[in-house]
Amino acid sequence: MQRFGEKLRTLRLQREMPVRELAIALGYAASSHSYISETETGKRNPKVEGNALLSG
């Protein structure tokens, strides 16, 4: 089973979406792209509100 971050990265790459674009789509500032990258690599745990945005 994939970790959340691995699944997030897989889906983002399938859609050919840059990390900055995903950050904006999730309601984060474009400068929050490092948070998305760290979540994808497992260096950070995703915030609960981010999970809700992705699941809906």
- How far apart are alpha carbons 14 and 46 in whole angstroms? 20
Q: What is the pLDDT of residues 22-31, one digit of tens each?
A: 989 888 887 8
Q: What is the pLDDT of residues 5-43, one digit of tens each?
A: 999 999 999 999 999 999 898 888 878 888 889 999 999
Residue with tokens 């990265």, as numbered in its chain:
9
- How far apart are alpha carbons 36 and 1 in whole angstroms? 20
| Joined tokens for residue 6 | 């691995």
Domain ranges of the chain: 4-55
- How far apart are alpha carbons 56 and 54 in whole angstroms? 6
Question: Rounded to two decimals, what is the model's pTM?
Answer: 0.73
Architecture of domain 4-55: Orthogonal Bundle (1.10)
